[in-house]
Amino acid sequence: MKNQYLYNYILGIADNSLILGQRMGELCGHGPSLETDIACTNISLDLFGQVRSYFQYASKIAGDGRTEDDIAMLRKEREYKNVLLAEQPNTNFAYTIGRQFLFDVYHLAFLKELQKSTDLTLAAIANKCVKEVSYHERFSSDWVKRLGDGTEQSRQKMQEAIDDLWTYTDELFHLTESDKEMVSQGIGVDATLLKDAYYNSVKELLEEATLHIPDSKYFQKGGKKGIHTEHLGYLLSDLQYMQRTYPNMEW
């Protein structure tokens, strides 16, 4: 493929939103309140809308006859490039909010930089997505503060979620070979330059939420290279069910 680096770079961005969108979609009908349930479902729909734009572009670049649906639904587990954070399960509402918050802060900063890409298609997608992700970040941040500075039970659950999810945050800033190539061409975002500001923003909000900042120095990685936790396989079995049960189905 002539543009293999660009194709893989797009997957690295889009798969995060695809997998996280699926996770948020699992909450439909299961939110702690009707308003929150609808908000989480809308976030899921936003993420899937972003994914469609990315995969339409990836399909065009691939030029091998695969559609956006094929790319989204018919890859094997090791072919997905999402970070491990995105695939973590909805253990409870605190985990859902903690996962969303830790990703949103990164996602918003990333999209703001992607708007500057020399690839006009990626820049346009980022420009459209920024408004949506700004809302996602406000929503998850507000809930972290509400749970952290709420009751003793809500604070305990929120702290447990942050402690467990923290180990997946460093991978957000790892660069793959495709990332490095796209950065060198002015197309991609050098995520390593976002790291300090990310942790400063996260720590500032956690302190406001009266939560402790995890002191763990050990971080998990592998998702960007296709090495995932056991959770992704179960998620994909749901995500891909219709396409694999009814091959070549079109909406």
In tens digits, what is the pLDDT along the chain, a chain of 251 residues? Answer: 558 999 999 999 999 999 999 999 998 877 777 788 898 999 999 999 999 999 999 999 998 889 899 999 999 999 999 999 999 999 999 999 999 999 999 999 999 999 999 999 999 999 999 999 999 999 999 999 999 999 999 999 999 999 999 999 999 999 999 999 999 999 999 999 999 999 999 999 999 999 999 988 889 999 999 999 999 999 999 999 888 888 877 65
251 inside domain: no
pTM: 0.94
Task: Report the CATH number that the domain containing residue 135 is assigned in CATH.
Answer: 1.20.1260.10
Residue 91 lies in a domain: yes
Is residue 187 within 8 Å of residue 9, measured between CB atoms? yes
Number of domains in the chain: 1
For residue 13, give its domain range: 4-211+218-245
Alpha-carbon gap, residue 249 to 235, rounded angstroms = 20
Is 250 within the bounds of a domain?
no
| Sequence letter at residue 246 | Y
Residue 109 belongs to a domain: yes
Distance CA 172, CA 87 (A): 13
